Amino acid sequence: MLGDKITARAHTNIALVKYWGKENEELIIPANSSLSLTLDEFYTDTSVQFDETLQSDEVTLNDKTVEDIKITNFMNIIREKANIPYFARIESTNHVPTSAGLASSASAYAALSAAGSKAAGLNLSEKELSRLARRGSGSATRSIFGGFAAWNKGDDDETSYGYSIEDPVKMDINMIAIILDNQPKKISSRKGMKISIETSPYYNSWIEQTKADFRTISDAIKNNDFTTLGKTAELNAMRMHSLTLSSDPSYLYINSDSIEVINMVKELRENGIECYYTMDAGPNVKIICRNNNINAITKKLSSRFDENQIKVSGPGEGIKYL
Ligand code: FM0
């Protein structure tokens, strides 16, 4: 009921086929479909309560009051859908290492969509929730779902939505995140992808490549083929990063620590420990591996990095109300 305090939990996700570029910036319609794995270790809990006595939305993030026009704009979408004029009290706690570049906007907007829409009296399906989450941050579209999830590109608000590919996940797959920099990124993904789509001469090839990668990884999931999934995800990530290098101005998320981790992964592989790397819009590296190799990989990483920089995670679940 309107006035009830509703709390939802959403987990973050890491893309295996990356989203990098928008066809429509206002509606957040992407230039390509993407595919991800939701992780159990990193999540956001958000509660929303509408209150007719409030003069504006009151937002606290990890117990700190924040003013964020993006959140107000997002709440306006919910107000419009529910046809209510009231502001809300929003409390959000991120169980993601602070600004670790672990796609906290994905879990944040997925949790806010679920809690906000229900608190406003809306009863949205998961597909509708994913379309709503998309308006906050593209990657949030996929965080409504657990396990392997995808975001269908579509070409308007109706047809651009998230869906489950497989949950629970059958494949033996984990991700080890190596936190190399916990500062907010200099070039946000929003800005970075805009520069890429507008200036990289390779952008069209990227779009063609992501279509092939999407098919390859979907098949690999069906066939429980870890090797093909890992290889393709690694290539897809590096091809996304090559768009940043080939943009004007050129920019780079990869730093010298990232390169060190990449080389460690290659060395591990040469020694028979099968693992692959992926990276998003920041220097942190995520290593894709099987259960029985976690120890060997974390041992190697600990020779160079601090224990609290290394976070192991398995597949996580979709949105839930607490
Ligand atoms: O997650 O401008 O969702 O597919 O993480 O808010 O829609 O923060 F590697 C980059 C995420 C992009 C790939 O972009 O952008 C992926 C990325 P917004 P997001």
Ligand 1 touching residue 32 (CB < 6 A): no
Structure tokens at 66: 């924040």
Q: How far is the CA of 270 from the centre of ligand 1 (A)?
A: 31
Which CATH number applies to 1-322: 3.30.230.10, 3.40.190.10, 3.20.20.140, 3.40.50.620? 3.30.230.10
Q: How far is the CA of 208 from the centre of ligand 1 (A)?
A: 19
Q: How far is the CA of 24 from the centre of ligand 1 (A)?
A: 14
Ligand 1 touching residue 137 (CB < 6 A): yes
Ligand 1 touching residue 280 (CB < 6 A): yes
The pLDDT of residue 104 is 80
Cα separation, 37 vs 116, whole angstroms? 24
Break the chain into its structural domains and give their ranges: 1-322
CB-CB contact of 221 with 258 (8 Å): no
Cα separation, 235 vs 288, whole angstroms? 13
The pLDDT of residue 181 is 78
Taking the chain (322 residues) in runs of 10, the rounded mean pLDDT of each run is 93 97 98 98 96 97 92 98 97 76 84 98 98 98 98 98 98 96 80 97 98 98 98 98 97 95 98 97 96 98 94 97 97
CA angle 132, 29, 246 (to 5 degrees): 135
For 94-131, b/e burial (b = at least 16 CB within 10 A) is: bebbeebbbbbbbbbbbbbbbbbbbbbebebebebbbb
Ligand 1 touching residue 18 (CB < 6 A): yes
Ligand 1 touching residue 103 (CB < 6 A): yes
Structure tokens at 100: 């670790």
Q: How far is the CA of 20 from the centre of ligand 1 (A)?
A: 7
Ligand 1 touching residue 74 (CB < 6 A): no
Q: How far is the CA of 266 from the centre of ligand 1 (A)?
A: 26
Cα–Cα nearest to 44, from 136, 122, 124: 136
Q: How far is the CA of 19 from the centre of ligand 1 (A)?
A: 6
Q: Which residue has the tokens 């940043």?
A: 244
Ligand 1 touching residue 190 (CB < 6 A): yes
Cα–Cα nearest to 40, from 112, 113, 133, 147: 147
Ligand 1 touching residue 105 (CB < 6 A): yes
Ligand 1 touching residue 49 (CB < 6 A): no
Ligand 1 touching residue 282 (CB < 6 A): no
Note the pTM of the prediction, 2 decimals: 0.96
Structure tokens at 110: 């997925």
Ligand 1 atom 10: the closest Cα is on which residue? 280
The pLDDT of residue 182 is 67
Ligand 1 touching residue 119 (CB < 6 A): no
The pLDDT of residue 96 is 75
Cα separation, 36 vs 33, whole angstroms? 11
85-88, Cβ contacts within 8 angstroms, sequence gap of 24 or more: 86/2, 86/50, 86/51, 86/52, 86/54, 87/50, 87/51, 87/54, 87/55, 87/56, 87/57, 87/58, 88/48, 88/49, 88/50, 88/51, 88/54, 88/57, 88/58, 88/116, 88/119
